């Protein structure tokens, strides 16, 4: 009876090639590299819109557009120098928190922030600058180094869509991160409109008050002048008569009244001049207030018509490029699969032990 002999072949090849070893090491190294926490140091955009921009280094509120300090009630004041060196203050518009929902107007202020990664930072930075200027934009800040680049800019709202499309086409979508925020400045606009109404009303009231002063003064002057003329006529009549004691007494009485009326007229003219100057100062104050509100309104519209933004540019390594195209554990998996194929090829090429 013949013995059945079964030959068991080993799985290990007689020889393992260097390619298999290298692929296996790459699989292990890439797995370890991906498993570690990914620490990145991104460029911190300077001047990015946010709450911190509302405070200076001392923590105080900033001045308004015209440099006037903010008051506790949220209304800023600016002095208007009047005659005599006295300062007059008029309120500037401030945001109104209660805007009715029926007001559907939008005054959107757009902030655009993009982060790009590239192999050539300086070239991409120059291309970003050229794109901004090509759309009638303005460069507010620019910096560039071999590792990092930064561009702060402002472009017209009317060209924003075309500008954004061209800017984002400079790099592939995998190398681009975009953050866009917008704020509706409708509360500021409503407040400006309310201030405009108040300023117009104040100007109308001041002009009406001035007209009343002029009319009242005219009536008083007419009344006093009529009494003065009457006294002068009586004095002329009495002086033409025989100067008896009674006539002399009447002349003295009427003369005293005539002098008193003349003095009252002088005082009335002086008071009228003072009141008229004060009324003119009030009118000038209201006109300056209206101009200030109009300036604020135009400033708001110009602000809305301008898109501000930043572009941060960072250098990217080939390893990070590969990870962008093959996220997760695809890279170690591919190396492991290639190592297995190379191992099987070694078995066929060199045989097994």
Q: What does the pLDDT read at residue 41?
A: 41
Q: Are 285 and 80 in contact (CB under 8 A)?
A: yes
Over residues 271-313, the pLDDT tens digits come to 999 999 999 999 999 999 999 999 999 999 999 999 999 999 9
Calculate the alpha carbon distances from 78 to 16, 64, 72, 295 in Å: 85, 10, 14, 13
Predicted TM-score (pTM) of the model is 0.61
**118 phi, psi to nearest 5 deg:** -150, 165
Calculate the alpha carbon distances from 210 to 81, 206, 278, 291 in Å: 20, 6, 9, 21
Looking at the predicted structure, is the pLDDT value of residue 63 above 60? Answer: no
Looking at the predicted structure, is the pLDDT value of residue 249 above 90? Answer: no
Which distant-in-sequence residues (6+ apart) come within 8 Å of 227 by Cβ?
257, 261
Calculate the alpha carbon distances from 311 to 17, 109, 168 in Å: 48, 18, 10
Over residues 328-353, the pLDDT tens digits come to 666 677 767 776 776 777 666 666 66
CA-wise closest residue to 273 among 230, 328, 217, 219: 217
Q: What does the pLDDT read at residue 137?
A: 92
Residue 216 and residue 250: Cα distance in Å, rounded? 32
DSSP string, 60-80: PPPP-TTSPPBPTTS-BEEEE
Quick one: pLDDT band at residue 269, thresholds 50, 70, 90? very high
Domain boundaries of the chain, sorted by first residue: 18-40+327-350, 202-303
């Amino acid at each position: 009876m013949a013995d059945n002999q079964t030959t068991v072949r080993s799985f290990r090849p007689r020889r393992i090639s260097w390619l298999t070893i290298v692929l296996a090491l790459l699989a292990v190294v890439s797995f370890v590299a991906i498993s570690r926490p990914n620490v990145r140091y991104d460029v911190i955009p300077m001047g990015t819109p946010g709450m911190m921009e509302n405070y200076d280094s001392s923590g105080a509120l900033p001045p308004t557009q015209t440099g006037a300090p903010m008051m506790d009630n949220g209304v800023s004041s600016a002095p208007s120098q009047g005659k005599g060196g006295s300062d007059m203050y008029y309120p500037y518009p401030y945001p109104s928190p209660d805007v009715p929902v029926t007001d559907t107007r939008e005054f959107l202020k757009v902030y655009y922030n993009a982060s790009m990664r590239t192999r050539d930072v300086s070239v991409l930075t120059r291309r970003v600058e050229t794109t901004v200027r090509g759309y009638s934009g303005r460069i507010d800040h620019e910096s560039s180094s071999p590792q990092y680049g930064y561009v702060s800019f402002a472009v017209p709202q009317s060209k924003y869509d075309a500008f954004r499309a061209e800017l984002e086409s400079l790099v592939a979508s995998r190398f681009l991160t975009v953050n866009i925020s917008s704020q509706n400045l409708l509360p500021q606009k409503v407040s400006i409109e309310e201030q405009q109404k108040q300023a117009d009303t104040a100007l109308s009231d001041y002009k009406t008050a001035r007209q009343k002063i002029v009319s009242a003064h005219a009536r008083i002057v007419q009344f006093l002048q009529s009494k003065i003329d009457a006294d002068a006529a009586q004095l002329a009549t009495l002086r033409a008569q025989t100067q008896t004691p009674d006539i002399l007494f009447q002349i003295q009485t009427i003369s005293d009244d005539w002098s008193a009326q003349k003095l009252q007229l002088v005082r009335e003219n002086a008071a009228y001049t003072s009141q008229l100057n004060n009324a003119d100062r009030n009118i000038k104050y209201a006109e300056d207030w209206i101009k200030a509100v109009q300036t604020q309104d135009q400033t708001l519209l110009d602000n809305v018509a301008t898109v501000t933004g930043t572009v941060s540019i960072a250098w990217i390594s080939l390893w990070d490029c590969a990870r962008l195209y093959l996220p997760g554990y695809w890279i170690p998996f591919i190396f492991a699969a290639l190592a297995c194929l190379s191992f099987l090829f070694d078995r066929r090429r060199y045989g097994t032990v």
